[in-house]
Amino acid sequence: MDIYQKLDAAAYLRGNEYPGRGVLLGMSPSGKAVLAYFIMGRSDNSRNRVFTTQGDDVIIHPYDASKVEDPSLIIYAPVRTEGLQTIVTNGDQTDTILTHLRSGGSFQTALQTRCFEPDAPNLTPRISGILHLGTPDFTYELSILKSADAAGTGCNRYYYAYPALPGLGHLIHTYEENGNPIPTFQGEPRRIDVPEDLDAFTETLWQNLNEQNRISLYVRYTDPVTGRYESRLINKFGKD
């Protein structure tokens, strides 16, 4: 087994009916900082969502506000930009991390104050990432907060720190596969081959997420020195 093998994103996603929400960070072959975030849904409440942009941030809104049942775990800002640091998460811990950074804290100190989602029996993990830009040799971090047992009596916290390498990304997602309850992600973030072309990568990710369950996708390629970026956004419902 080659532990340094890079997985093909299309094949990896195509083989999983329900990875849930996913965060990918990495570097393009030419040195751009790459960020991708996708959401999926099985219930009507989870599927009733769209991504919108607000300045440099991404916000989730209900597609049909009249159908919102419980907004607490589905409406949040998955992407926040603070100077040359970009945060991406699957919940309101985005703002927890932002608050800690602004007060002199860090990605890890922020997540020490958070835990998995209170959605028994799934006990959905909180997944988070941050790009530390400002230099061509940028770095990034990923984290997953998971229940220690089926009863949710404790929280296990896992942190991963990476030097950016050309053509390599790391993907972490909430669920290992579909199920009831849904089994949480296992092991380390997956090593994913990252191409140069933003549009091609966006299309690859979107087309290989399960058509029934995919909801929204956001992809950003950033110059790590200047912070200037290009992005693409796809919503299943409503306007992109």
pLDDT in the model for residue 73:
66
pLDDT higher than threshold 50 for residue 240: no
Provide the b/e sequence for 66-76 (b: ≥16 CB within 10 Å).
eebeeeeebbb
Looking at residues 143-158, what average pLDDT do you find? Answer: 97
Please provide the DSSP assignment of 80-98 as one string: EEETTEEEEESSTHHHHHH
Looking at residues 129-152, what average pLDDT do you find? Answer: 97
Q: How far is CA 186 from the centre of its chain?
A: 16
Ramachandran class of 55: left when φ > 0, alpha when ψ lies in -120 to 50, beta otherwise? left
Whether residue 39 contacts residue 223, with contact meaning beta carbons closer than 8 Å, is answered with no
Higher pLDDT, residue 206 or 48? 206
pLDDT in the model for residue 44:
79
| Digit-coded pLDDT (tens) for 66-117 | 777 777 767 899 999 999 999 999 999 999 999 999 999 999 999 999 999 9
| Digit-coded pLDDT (tens) for 3-16 | 899 999 999 999 99
Amino acid sitting at position 102: R
Q: Is 34 exposed, middle or buried (0-12, 13-18, 19+ CB in 10 A)?
A: buried
| Digit-coded pLDDT (tens) for 54-75 | 999 999 988 887 777 777 767 8
| Digit-coded pLDDT (tens) for 169-200 | 999 999 999 999 999 999 999 999 999 999 99
What are 216's strand-pairing partners? 39, 235
φ and ψ at residue 83, rounded to 5 degrees = 65, -125
Query: Which tokens go with 66?
Result: 């009249």
Query: Quick one: which of 99, 31, 41 has its CA closest to 69?
Result: 41
Report how far apart, in Å, the C-alpha atoms of 49 and of each of 88, 91, 92, 171, 201 are.
17, 14, 15, 22, 22
Query: Which tokens go with 56?
Result: 């440099």
% of the chain residues with pLDDT over 90: 88
Q: What mean pLDDT is reported for the chain? A: 94
Query: Quick one: which of 103, 92, 87, 90 has its CA closest to 141?
Result: 87
- Which residue bears the tokens 């009596």? 153
End-to-end Cα spacing for the chain = 41
Q: How far is CA 233 from the centre of its chain?
A: 14
> What is the chain's alpha carbon radius of gyration, rounded to the nearest angstrom?
17
The whole-angstrom separation of Cα 108 and Cα 141 is: 9
The whole-angstrom separation of Cα 86 and Cα 79 is: 7
pTM: 0.95
Looking at residues 4-29, what average pLDDT do you find? Answer: 97
pLDDT in the model for residue 34:
98
Query: Quick one: which of 43, 36, 28 has its CA closest to 12?
Result: 36
Whether residue 125 contacts residue 116, with contact meaning beta carbons closer than 8 Å, is answered with yes
pLDDT-based confidence at 47, cuts 50/70/90?
Answer: confident
